Structure 1
Amino acid sequence: MGVGTIARRYAIALADVAQNKNEVEKIQAELHQWQGLIHENRELSIALTNPVFKHAIKEKILETLIQKFSPSQTTANFLRVLLRNNRIAHLKEIAESFSEVIEERNNVTLAKIVSARPLSEDEKEALRKSLEKKTGKKIRFELSTDPSLLGGIVATVGSTVFDGSVRNRLTILKEKFIHNV
Structure 2
Amino acid sequence: MSELARRYAAALYAVSPDEKTLEDTARAIMDNAPLWESLCSPAVQAWEKDRVLTRLPLLDGHGLLLNFYRLLAEKGRMALLPKILEAYRDQALAQRGAARCRLTCVRPPEQVELEKLKQALCRLHHKRDVVFEIRTDPSLLGGFTLEIEGVRYDKSVRGALAGLTRQLEERRMA
Match of 2:103 among 108, 113, 136: 113
Is residue 2:144 matched to residue 1:153?
yes
Is residue 2:23 matched to residue 1:33?
no
Query: In 1, distance between residues paired with 2:3 and 2:110?
Result: 38
Please name the residue that 1:101 is paired with: 91
Aligned length: 167
Describe the SS at the equivalent of 1:62: helix
Match of 2:130 among 117, 120, 139: 139
What runs of 5+ residues in structure 1 fail to find an aligned partner? none
Q: Does the aligned pair in 2 maintain the 1:12–1:98 contact within 8 Å?
A: yes
Query: In 1, distance between residues paired with 2:136 and 2:158?
Result: 14
Query: In 1, distance between residues paired with 2:131 and 2:39?
Result: 36
Describe the SS at the equivalent of 1:119: coil
Q: Does the aligned pair in 2 maintain the 1:35–1:95 contact within 8 Å?
A: no
Distance 1:170 1:30, change over 3 A: same
TM-score norm. by structure 2 comes to 0.70
Distance 1:145 1:75, change over 3 A: same
Is residue 2:1 matched to residue 1:9?
no
Tell me which amino acid in the other structure corresponds to 1:135. H
Query: In 1, distance between residues paired with 2:159 and 2:72?
Result: 47
Percent identity over the alignment is 26
Q: Does the aligned pair in 2 maintain the 1:112–1:156 contact within 8 Å?
A: yes
Q: Does the aligned pair in 2 maintain the 1:32–1:92 contact within 8 Å?
A: no
Match of 2:54 among 58, 63, 67: 63
Give the RMSD, CA atoms, in angstroms.
Answer: 3.5
Q: Does the aligned pair in 2 maintain the 1:116–1:146 contact within 8 Å?
A: yes
Please name the residue that 1:53 is paired with: 45
Q: Does the aligned pair in 1 maintain the 2:29–2:36 contact within 8 Å?
A: no
Query: In 1, distance between residues paired with 2:68 and 2:160?
Result: 50
